[in-house]
Structure 1
Amino acid sequence: MSTIKDVAARAGVSFTTVSHVLNGTRPVSESARARVQQAVADLGYFPSAVARSLKTSETHIIGVLVPNVTNPFFAELTRGVEDCAHQAGYSVFLCNCDDNPGRQSRYLQTLVERRVDGMLLASAGGAESLPHGWAAYGMPSVIVDRRMPGVEADLVRIDNQAGARLAVEHLLSLGHRKIACISGPESFEVSNSREGGWRQALLAAGIAPESSWLERGDFSSSSGYAAGRRLFERNEVSAVFASNDLMALGVLRAAAECGLAVPSAVSVIGFDGIDLGAYSFPALTTVGYSIRKLGERAASMLMQRIESPTHATQELVLAPELMLRESTAAVRHY
């Protein structure tokens, strides 16, 4: 691989002249500039980003850590982050933590060692998943989607409890009274907030939810399918609120296998608003906020944090909206 000294030797100039030509830091004669540019082309030389970062303390790279890259929510989130980062002149280093706090900790250590300018973290764990001495790094960081207790950083998230209430209130407005909830893992704040919104909406309508109306999954389609099968085999509810769209898609499959037409026999509503939900059959009614815009907002917040690292931390809470499609309808009375 060619070096800046190789370029200088071929062009017949000093390596500082090459640096001035490449970085535009000082006027250089047209003759010298032309020889340097020709030497760069002949040798296929690329400036070292590592060397430049050591000199300027900037890499123009941000790290993005997500729990599960196969989940469409995080794929769409990352796309929004990348769009915003690209416009600001940053590249993205994507890390898939696979919902493993240990892997997340190792990735965070690697990103620090790579001298990225900042990190956007959709956490796979709490503060215990951070490397030892994390606070001492002073890395500009934004947490998205899942709060990390004990971690001082900017946060951008959806109002999960309000979104769950909105979903259940929609079902209540259609006459449903026996409404199940498929929640996520108990260890996730997102799960507890969405389950709490389900309970709040029912209690506000004078309905005490039965314990058998609550099932748990892991935010995957397969877990939603299994939970849906259990609910439908008990034949107790007329509607299901799934705590994310992937589980709701699993519920649609379970309903079909159990001979229950959606939405005439049972209504199903999800949470997140992934693009895929618009193309299921029937199209999935859900609540959410544009995931791509969520990524853009989070990346923009990170750019601000990189530029102003000493500013007070902030929390941005985005209000979800009902996305009315085909999987919910008025309850059928017999």
Structure 2
Amino acid sequence: MKMIDVAKIANVSVATVSRVISQPDRVSKETRQKVLEVIKELNYQPHMIARQFRTKETKTILVVVPDITKAFFSEVLRGIEHTALKNGYQVILGDTENDIEREREYINLLLKKQVDGMVLLTARIDKESLEEISNQFPMVLACEYMNGLNIPTVSIDNISSARKLTEHLIQLGHTKIAHITGPINVILSRDRLRGYQQAMLKYDLILDPAFIQEGDFSYESGYNQMLKLLALETIPTAVFVFNDEMAVGAIAAVKDSGLNVPKDIAVVGFDNVKMSSVYEPRITTIDQPKYKIGKKAMDLLLKLMSGEGLQKKKFVLKDQLIIRESCGAKASVQELEKV
């Protein structure tokens, strides 16, 4: 039996159940009674209740990722682990496979005090629950983010970098530019779409709805969505793809259709994972400072766990535009301005 089960039956948040156990005075009498009745009915026994938080340490950190198979996260995890080990902490990994219920279950480990703190590389549960939990336990959000969320966050500015990448294509002379997005329910997908739209509008270029196709982060979706673009009566001359893995799929679809990248269609990606520098043609992309994101997130978590307050909670790191052959321009590195 888990705390999340109590929360579901009592129709309250996991954070509320935690407060009933550790800080009952902060919960209304009616809600407290309802939760206690469910706890009694289920015979729920928490492993380590929240009031033990400051006196017991596990020396363990939990890092929650949305999909461990994605190459992007390996360098972020390395930055987290190197910093954790240097400070005497072990790191355990939780892979949600983009399942919101599994994300809740991993957060439950923090509530039961089986880990000392948590770095989330994904945030799909509701903002209210995250903030309630972060008020009691050390938590840092990295890579992904939520608007208005009062939790320490480390990321890049996805809107400005997507805008910069699209403007690069425009400056190369392209006017028919398409965008293959990630899942639109993910904030990173919406931000990169917004950056693409801002660049197109800035240069008075037509935003054709057919030129925007939604993918799912995978090679296969990059391939399939590019085929849809190639089936249009008027095909784009350039495509900005949400990430490098999808960009590889998109380039494969162009090749299989008898066309050439970048001669017939320019393709750019995002993230600068290893494959982008070895695939042919090598892929123009945005380099996220993955190791630095992980290191910064862990540094912030260490401060929270030591009881140190943070005067600043939002950290936007610098990224780079990496120009390679897939866009048809001469290879170079352009640094984006720090936000």
TM-score category, normalised to shorter length: 0.7 to 0.9
SS at match of 1:103: helix
> Considering only aligned residues, what root-mean-square deviation do their CA atoms show, in Å?
2.3
| CA drift at 1:283 | 1.1
Structure 1 position 238, deviation (Å):
0.5
Change (3 A) 1:58 1:225: same
Q: Larger radius of gyration, structure 1 or 2?
A: 1
**Equivalents in 1 of 2:310, 2:291: separation in Å?**
26
Q: 1:202 corresponds to which letter in structure 2?
A: M
Structure 2: runs of 5 or more not aligned: 1-47, 330-339
User: Hey, what does 2:182 align to over in structure 1?
Assistant: 184
Q: TM-score, normalised by structure 2?
A: 0.76
Query: Counterpart of 1:175 in 2: which secondary structure?
Result: coil
State the distance in 2 between where 1:69 and 1:188 align.
17
Deviation digits for residues 59-78 of structure 1, max 9, x if unmatched? 22111000000011122211
Secondary structure of the 1:271 match is coil
Matching residue of 1:324: 323
Identity of aligned residues (%): 34
Could you tell me how far 1:187 is from its partner in structure 2? 1.1
**Change in 2 beyond 3 A, CA 1:226/1:264:** same
Structure 2 match to 1:268:
267
| Pick aligned residue for 1:174 from 150, 172, 176 | 172
> CA, structure 1 residues 133+196, in 2 after alignment: closer, same or farther (shift >3 Å)?
closer
Counterpart Cα distance in 1 of 2:146 and 2:197: 24
Aligned partners of 1:101, 1:142: CA distance in 2, in Å?
Answer: 18
Write the deviation string for residues 77-116 of structure 1: whole angstroms up to 9, x where unpaired. 1122112212222110100011011000011102332432
Question: Which residues in structure 2 correspond to 1:123-272 (within 5 Å)?
Answer: 123-127=122-126, 130=129, 134=133, 138-148=136-146, 151-234=149-232, 235-272=234-271
CA distance in 2, matches of 1:166, 1:131: 32
Distance 1:56 1:149, change over 3 A: same
Structure-2 separation of matches of 1:242 and 1:227? 10
CA contact (8 A) 2:104 2:125 kept: no
Tell me the SS of whatever aligns to 2:231. helix
Query: 3-state SS of the aligned residue for 2:162?
Result: helix
Using structure 1 for the length normalisation, give the TM-score.
0.77
Moved more, 228-237 or 143-152: 143-152
Q: Secondary structure at the match of 1:264?
A: coil
Secondary structure, counterpart of 1:272 in structure 2: coil
Q: CA deviation at 1:208?
A: 2.1
Q: Distance in 1 between matches of 2:151 and 2:200?
A: 34
SS in 1 for 2:115: coil
| Change over 3 Å in CA distance of 1:270–1:129 after alignment to 2 | farther
2:270 is paired with a residue whose SS is strand
